A and B are shown apart, each in its own frame.
Chain A
Amino acid sequence: MKQPQTSRRSFLALAALTPFAVAATSACGTSGPGASSGNGGASMWFLSGEPNQTNMQKAVDAFNQANPDNKIAITFFQNDAYKTKIKTAIGANQAPTIIYNWGGGTLKTYAEANQVEDLTSWLDSEPDLKKKFFPSTFSAATVNGKIYALPNMYVGPIVLFYNKELFQKAGVTPPKSWDDVMSLVKTFNGMGVAPFSLGGQSRWTSMMWLEYLLDRIGGPDVFKAIFEGKPNAWMDPAVIETGTKIQELVSADGFIKGFSSITADSNADQALLYTGKAAMMLHGSWTYGPMKKDGKNFVQDGKLGFVQFPSVPGGKGDPKNGVGNPANYQSISAKASDKEKESAKKFLKDGIMTDAMIDAYINSGSVPIVNGIESKLNTSPDKDFLNFVYDLAKNAPSFQQSWDQALSPTAAEALLNNIDQLFLKSITPQQFAENMNGTLGK
């Protein structure tokens, strides 16, 4: 009779201890940002992967040396791991001071949950900083008229790459219109070469085709209406025509065999282009650096060609329009202390887009989003490509942000899932439009 009471009492004692145990376990998971906030500096999470990781580490080291009172502690994560971790960390109020993001829909969810700092007044008080960047880059950082992130790094438009050697062999020129695309598909299939490389399992790679086609067919207003959540915005005839053109291209064997099992993160899609297994590839300008590094002398020997996405006959969109990532973005956590916020602002202003960083980005084949870099681009060994990207970004009457970044995470996941099925032809363009229409406002 005595024993059970004792055990019950100790059980209660154990239950009372539970919160401490939980606190201890949760403390383990956040050693990263917690470690840095002690000495007044700011913490920052950034993506691993070269050359950006080394460049950013150098920038942080230089800044820390010059500002011993505002030190930045940086931690690196892999791209997909980061996307999950940052969401969880923000939800648990354990975010780093500086939150790396891609602007658009995700930033909107952060801003609406009051998790990121409104930077509008700070930028107004630092006009030089604001004027340093391409003005177009601020739109994806703006939510309800307020700026919640500072654009930085480089512009990443989607470009149509092609293998010059294969084009010479076939005696053809890069496509200027959608009709050219379809006839090139026949030519290259006849030669036993895949017309287009595509890492379809990653799904956002297939999405790049829809982004350009919809823009060329219906103009930028169609997606603008979708982005604003207007009723039936996805049911626009241009969406259906876009889906139809995609399925025509799939049916004509436009994409490499097995495209739906190729992933982009292994860079297998790029390898198909530079090994001559595929003639063309629609991909972000950020693949230029990796292809230069991995493709033996493919890029250095001038075998890599690049053009703007072709026009579609009868389409409303300007062929000069661009799509892709206007920039990368840094926000400041609203939950950080005043001192941390101050250090973060100082770093964003003086530490990130320094002259040394601008040079480093140009050397790695990217176009930084700062004004007045023409002369620097022209002295680079990659000047043809850099100028092409620079002009594309600067002269585009409209530059549409990647859809999966522009939309909310909920709508973006539904979009990627439906795009996968559209490319597999398991749903019709009409069904695609209807399915997506159901996600409006979500």
Chain B
Amino acid sequence: MSNAVSTAPGPSVGVRNSKQTEQRKAALAWLTIPALFFFLVFAVIPLAGVLILSFTSWDGIGAIGAAGLDNWFSVLADPGLYNALGLTFLIMIVSWLVQTPISLLLGVFTAGSQRYRAVLAVLYFLPLLLSSAAVAIAFKALLDPNFGLATGLGLPFLAQDWLGVPQLALGLVIFVIAWQFVPFHTLIYQGGVRQIPKSLYEAAQIDGAGTIKQFFHITLPQLKYTIITSSTLMVVGSLTYFDLIFVLTGGGPGNSTRILALDMYLRGFRANLMGPASVIAVILVIIGLALALFLQRLGGKDKQGSQLEGL
């Protein structure tokens, strides 16, 4: 590696300049060591372990035995996998469709400087401070058809079997996820909107553009990268929704909310099938990587450049 560097034709810059860059690069290499170390210990080694486990049969207690491709064939032939995959993507897409407009509008709204907006922003932010398990337990208690909010307030239309009917349970899971995570994305959009230079709006006003026109022609295009960031977090994050659904429905009723991450846990730690659970884990990693790369591509090649270019 060092040979290649020394023999490579240098760029057409001064000698001193190139020396400085090299030193800086060396310093940067040193700085990456702690990060690399943790990445190795907590990401690469476990990942390799999971990959190896996916080719073994292990009940988590006894000896580990080689299984070849058996786990992969059995998991790929299992309709449960496709149910979980479908649900994962359904929750991902619907969550994105629900959360993005709400957080975008709330973000734009709270980006103003009036005091009442600041107060509201704090209120919107509250759900994010609660742990997922607490949110799930609270919603479960509120929606209990016999002892919940419906009987407490005398609202019969609320007395549905919310978590006991497959479609209702799925809808409710998406609602609770949105309730919990919209504040976070609102915060991202709020920050994004505040970065947009005021001069753009002033110019638009002079040209006679109204609020709606300003939103669609200035705010939205300027938020492109914020939307991509928020969407990446939403989409990749939705692959790991676990605690909330685990406490709220446990994957039920039936298999109607058994998403991939939950399926992995239930196979591994409930059914003692570590091999097949590892297969699911590997599939999850692949999907997560593919989605993250896809969303980065959406950002276009110029994403490294400044957003303020040309001003």
Contact = CB atoms under 8 A, between A and B. Distances in A.
A113 B146 contact: no
Interface in A14-30: 14-15, 18, 21-22
B33 A10 contact: yes
Contact of B146 (A84, A87, A277, A412): A277
Interface stretch (B182-190, B201-209, B245-253, B299-307): B245-253
Nearest to B269: A84
B29 A3 contact: yes
A410 B162 contact: no
A33 B161 CA distance: 44
Given A87-B269, A91-B61, A421 B1 contact: no
Given A259-B164, A260-B161, A410-B271, A420 B59 contact: no
B272 A201 contact: no
B75 interface: no
A22 B45 CA distance: 11
A88 interface: yes
A87 B255 contact: no
A413 interface: yes
B33 A262 contact: no
Nearest to B36: A11
B112 interface: no
B63 interface: yes
A421 B36 CA distance: 47
A268 interface: yes
Given A11-B36, A87-B272, A113-B63, A1 B2 contact: yes
A262 B144 contact: yes
Given A258-B144, A277-B146, A420-B252, A3 B61 contact: no
Interface in B240-280: 249-250, 252-255, 266, 269-273
Contacts of A112: 62
Nearest to A271: B147
Given A1-B5, A261-B164, A409 B271 contact: yes
B233 interface: no
A367 B191 CA distance: 64
Contact of A4 (B26, B41, B169): B26
A57 to B, nearest CB: 27
Contacts, number: 123
A7 B164 contact: no
B62 A113 contact: yes
A296 to B, nearest CB: 15
Contacts of B60: 87-88, 91
A109 B61 contact: yes
A258 B45 CA distance: 45
A426 B254 contact: yes
Contacts of B254: 420-421, 424, 426
A1 B59 contact: no
B164 A258 contact: yes
A17 to B, nearest CB: 9
A154 B22 CA distance: 74
A416 B72 CA distance: 24
Given A258-B144, A417-B255, A115 B161 contact: no
Interface in B54-71: 59-63
A90 interface: yes
B43 to A, nearest CB: 13
A424 B167 CA distance: 12
Contacts of B36: 11
A272 interface: yes
B263 to A, nearest CB: 11
A414 interface: yes
Contacts of A22: 41
B6 interface: yes
B175 interface: no
Interface string B1-19: 1100110000000000000
A5 interface: yes
B255 A421 contact: yes
B252 A5 contact: no
Nearest to A256: B146
Contact of A268 (B143, B144, B272): B144
A109 B252 contact: no
B286 to A, nearest CB: 25
Contact of A201 (B146, B249, B269): B249
Nearest to B144: A268
Contacts of A203: 252
B29 A4 contact: yes
Nearest to A422: B254
A84 B61 CA distance: 12
A260 B5 CA distance: 66
Interface of B: 1-2, 5-6, 22-23, 26, 29-30, 33, 36-37, 40-41, 45, 59-63, 140, 143-147, 161-166, 169, 249-250, 252-255, 266, 269-273
Given A1-B6, A113-B59, A261-B163, 14 more contacts: A3-B22, A3-B26, A7-B29, A7-B33, A18-B45, A87-B269, A113-B63, A201-B249, A257-B145, A260-B165, A261-B140, A261-B249, A268-B147, A410-B59
19 contacts: A1-B6, A7-B30, A11-B36, A15-B40, A87-B269, A88-B269, A112-B62, A113-B62, A115-B61, A200-B253, A257-B145, A260-B253, A261-B145, A261-B161, A261-B164, A277-B146, A413-B266, A426-B166, A426-B254
The 5 residue pairs across chains A and B that have the minimum distance between CB atoms: A113-B62, A258-B145, A261-B163, A3-B26, A260-B164
